Amino acid sequence: MTRVAVVGATGAVGRTMLALLRERDFPAEEIVAFATPRSEGIEVDGLTVRALTADQDLSGFDIALFSAGAGTSREWASKFVDAGATVIDNSSAFRGDPDVPLVVSEVNPHALERHRGLIANPNCSTMQMVVALAPIHRAVGIERLVVSTYQSVSGTGKAAVDELDNQARASLHGMEMPAPEIYPEPIAFNVIGAAGNFAEGDDHTDEERKMMFETRKILEDQSIGVAVTCVRVPVRVSHSESVNVQTREPISPEEVRELLSAAPGIALGELPTPLKATDRDEVFVGRIRRDESHPRAFSMWIVSDNLRKGAATNAVQIAELLVGARKAAEVA
Q: Which residues are catalytic?
A: 124, 239
CB 16 within 8 Å of CB 311: yes
- Secondary structure of 148-188 in HEC code, one letter for each residue: EEEECHHHCCHHHHHHHHHHHHHHHCCCCCCCCCCCCCCCC
Going along the chain, which residue ranges are E strands?
2-7, 28-35, 43-44, 47-48, 50-51, 63-66, 86-89, 118-120, 142-151, 225-232, 239-247, 266-268, 283-290, 297-304
Paired sense of beta strands 50-51 and 63-66, if any: unpaired
Number of CB atoms found within 10 A of residue 229's CB: 17
| Nearest CA-CA partner of 245 in 231, 233, 259 | 259
How far apart are the C-alpha atoms of 297 and 41, rounded to whole Å? 54
- Closest CA relative to residue 214, chosen from 125, 147, 324: 125
